[in-house]
Structure 1
Amino acid sequence: MNEQAQHGFRPSPIEGIIAVISGGLALTVLFLLPLLEEADTGIPGGTFPAGGENFWVVAVVLVCQSAALLWAKSAPRTVLTLVVLLPVVLAVFVPGPAFSLSTIAIFCAVFLSAGRLPLPRVAPLLVLAVLIIAGAQAFNDFRTGLPATAAVTSAVGQALVVVGAPLLFALVLSARREARLSRTHEIQALAREQQARIEAAVSKERTAMSRELHDIAAHHMSGIALMTAAIQQQIDTDPEEAKRSAQQVRSQSTAVLEDLRRIVGLLREHPEGTRSVETIAGIPGLVEERRRTGMDVDLLQSAARPDRELAAGIGPLAQLVVYRMVQESLSNAAAHSPGARCVVDVDDSDPSQLIAVVHHGHAAAGQVGEGAAAGAGVGGGFGLLGLRERAELIGAALDHGPNAEGGWSVRLVVPREVARHPIDADETPQEMP
């Protein structure tokens, strides 16, 4: 496929501007040439009078050269060849000072061709152009009376300048263009990488939000479900107790709304009235809240010393994971083993780790759990799956499964920052009322 078929004859604005400038400059000098010669030689009209036959031959050649530049984008090699060969007509048929005007279009053709094509593709043609220009220039100068040696020397120098200067200029511009293009690609790649990181962060935050919403909803809604079931039985036999249970349902519903507002507040730029993150110190309150819903639950805590702060050396994120594990386990027990006795055991006596265990027995007689198997979590294990991912995030170990009482146990082992919070090995177990 030749250049014309490949690119089509579609002159671009840049080629059009260069062609007009080249032709206009060459023709302007051509029309001034007789006046310059007349001033130099004193001969009216000089040796190259305007309007003569030779004058119009040169003008036609210059116009053809400039017109050919219009297609330098579509067929750069063809245009360069044509622009270089046309001055040979002047050297053969109209030798004289006007020959040098043809180098203006050659200069432009070399620049456009070298800027459009890779150097290896255009280099052979440029070498051939140097030879043709040097030969034609030497022949022209020799016919005008210049000695052969001087004609050849001058022609070779002129050919090298006419081809070398625009070639160097084009290579510099091409290198800068490639550098800009490379930089653009690099910026685009960085932008794509940044976008991928943002999408990954958004996905991670969505997962964290879904876990948080699940923990909140499962915790409160399981309590509401238990209390509404109790209200159904109490409304005829003990209306006063049913009223108190209804108040508990209202309290649980209000707590759900408050927690949901807190989650929404975290998404705002300036959250109002946000609560602090839950910690291990909040577990007694969590257990007491469950007791108010009618759940049979005990809390055991073991510490190295009575005067030592609970969960020393356990970071805030790890404490939140422990809190969520207890919350999720109690919610599962209420949903899947209603009426079963639950025990929350927080062992803080080990110098290297904290162990939190929640276990419950079989559902009370006449009570049937809902949903998946006991302890599997709401939604077929989504709760425990989220807890396991959180445990891995802080380097903790989570185990769960059936226990000897026919119920379910969940055990979380959280490593402690021993270097900053050394503790004694003495153990002081106590049961919280």
Structure 2
Amino acid sequence: MSPLPQSPGRFRPLHPWAALSSGAVAICMLLVLPAAAGPGSGLGPVPALGDAAWWTVAVVLLAQAAAVTWTGRAPEVVVPGVAGMALVLVPMSPGPAFTLTAVAVMVAVFLAVAARAVRPLRGPLLVAGVLLATGQFVTAGARGATGTVAALIGAVPQALLVIGLPLLAGSVVSARRDAHEARRLELEALRREQEALLQATISRQRTAMSRELHDIAAHHLSGIAMMAAAVARQIDTDPATAKHSVGQIRQQSRAVLTDLRRLVGLLREDTDADRPVETLDAVSALVRARRAAGAEISLVLPAHQVEAGPLTQLVAYRMVQESLANAAVHAPGAPCAVEVGEPGGGWLAISVRNGVPRGPDPGPGSGFGLVGMAERAQLVGAELDYGPTSEGGWEVRLRLPLGETVGAVDGPAKPRDAGARRA
């Protein structure tokens, strides 16, 4: 038989090999039937080989086989049509030869059910069963069966057998095909889900990388800009100090390159996994670096070392780093104050405040710096608050939980002035 269609939406093929097989089997049985229906066989009279009745039966069997070819494309028509062709033989009373017409019907039913579900074929199958039972009943009466009831009792089981056996076999094939298709669709859905999760992970990693790049570049480049401005003023009046400032610019440039290399190194398999993250202890070095760049910064630290997790300390360090970078850009020349409070009640408060700028403000930035601080605060369940001060400056406050993080706070941050923006 030719391959069955895998799904209703695909092209439904012809079945020439199934038609040829069913026709060959039926003709072979017709050839041996006269010899089998000899005296004492109980089969009754059959058409003699080569006479008109025999050729009529052969033509009907071949016509049925030819119709089986189209079962895959029009089973609703072929199944009852093949069964109906057998009724052409009823007027000539072919006897047992009529039973041979069931071969093509069984093949057609199997192909139809295997290719499609049983439900849409219930009507055609019922019609085919009635036609088969009718033909068997009439031919049984012509053979002199003992009574109408006996002929009916014999015809109905034969029709049920001819329809039921291929129906069962076709249903098994159809069920296995549907199970295979369902498994294929399930695997396809799982593959798409894995791809979606992978893309979401990549997107989150890209966001984290861009946030770190922003913080590193903003911190170092703002310091370089401040020192470059100082060099422009000192190069004529104080060459020695200008040379020192140039050295500071060189150090800042190397520092930003080193930090960027470390960040890009996170993407490599051979990256140094033991490199420690920035902590609160590094805030002092951060302030000293900004002071060396010419910034006026005061620092207040707690009397004792703060016990906090590495992620919490990294969030605190990045908040101070970004706030000082913002102050250098948006409040040039303004004094800054960094204060790390004493832990109390399981919380640690950190604030970065700058005074009134002494130079022109370049205007609102992109807002990514505050977004990054807010996202980090959410990550550890901290509270971020920022906005202008009453003196005309700007303040960023961060409250960090020192215990286990139980969840993020509602909302990324709490700006005191929705109209105020910074980078």
Question: TM-score w.r.t. structure 2 length?
Answer: 0.84
Taking the aligned partners of 1:211 and 1:351, their CA distance within structure 2 comes to 31
Bigger drift between 114-123 and 352-361 goes to: 114-123
Bigger drift between 399-408 and 250-259 goes to: 399-408
Cα drift, residue 175 of structure 1: 3.1
The one of 391, 397, 401 equivalent to 1:411 is 397
Where do residues 159-238 of structure 1 align in structure 2 (5 Å cutoff)? 159-238=159-238
Taking the aligned partners of 2:81 and 2:163, their CA distance within structure 1 comes to 15
1:278-308 C-alpha deviation (Å, 9 max, x unpaired): 12221112112212212222221124xx4xx
Does 2:74 match 1:80? no
Secondary structure in 1 matching 2:366: helix
Contact 1:266–1:274 (8 Å) recurs in 2: no
Alignment match, 2:385: 399
Q: Aligned-pair RMSD on alpha carbons?
A: 2.6
Cα drift, residue 117 of structure 1: 5.0
Alignment match, 2:408: none
Contact 1:262–1:275 (8 Å) recurs in 2: no
Taking the aligned partners of 1:226 and 1:152, their CA distance within structure 2 comes to 108
Where do residues 6-85 of structure 1 align in structure 2 (5 Å cutoff)? 12-13=13-14, 15-37=15-37, 48-85=47-84
Taking the aligned partners of 1:75 and 1:384, their CA distance within structure 2 comes to 68
Alignment match, 1:389: 375
Cα drift, residue 107 of structure 1: 0.7
Cα drift, residue 239 of structure 1: 1.8
Alignment match, 2:327: 333
Where do residues 117-196 of structure 1 align in structure 2 (5 Å cutoff)? 118-148=117-147, 150-196=150-196
1:102-138 C-alpha deviation (Å, 9 max, x unpaired): 1111112222333455544422332232222122113
Taking the aligned partners of 1:206 and 1:160, their CA distance within structure 2 comes to 67
Taking the aligned partners of 1:203 and 1:145, their CA distance within structure 2 comes to 84
The one of 340, 352, 362 equivalent to 1:358 is 352
Which amino acid in the other structure matches residue 12 of structure 1? P
Bigger drift between 178-187 and 259-268 goes to: 178-187
Which amino acid in the other structure matches residue 28 of structure 1? C
Taking the aligned partners of 1:136 and 1:348, their CA distance within structure 2 comes to 102
Q: Structure 1's 47 and 381: CA in aligned 2 closer, same or farther, altered over 3 A? A: closer
Cα drift, residue 324 of structure 1: 0.6
Does 2:362 match 1:371? yes
Secondary structure in 1 matching 2:302: strand
Alignment match, 1:99: 98
Which amino acid in the other structure matches residue 270 of structure 2? H
Does 2:285 match 1:279? no
Bigger drift between 80-89 and 121-130 goes to: 121-130
Secondary structure in 2 matching 1:12: coil
5+ unaligned residues in a row in structure 1: which ranges? 1-6, 374-378, 420-433
Secondary structure in 2 matching 1:267: coil
Does 2:288 match 1:288? yes
Q: Structure 1's 155 and 337: CA in aligned 2 closer, same or farther, altered over 3 A? A: same
Does 2:266 match 1:242? no
Taking the aligned partners of 1:199 and 1:11, their CA distance within structure 2 comes to 38
5+ unaligned residues in a row in structure 2: which ranges? 1-7, 406-423
Cα drift, residue 191 of structure 1: 3.3
Q: Structure 1's 57 and 198: CA in aligned 2 closer, same or farther, altered over 3 A? A: same
Q: Would you say how many aligned residue pairs link Structure 1 and Structure 2? A: 392
Cα drift, residue 179 of structure 1: 3.3
Contact 1:262–1:274 (8 Å) recurs in 2: no
Which amino acid in the other structure matches residue 206 of structure 2? R
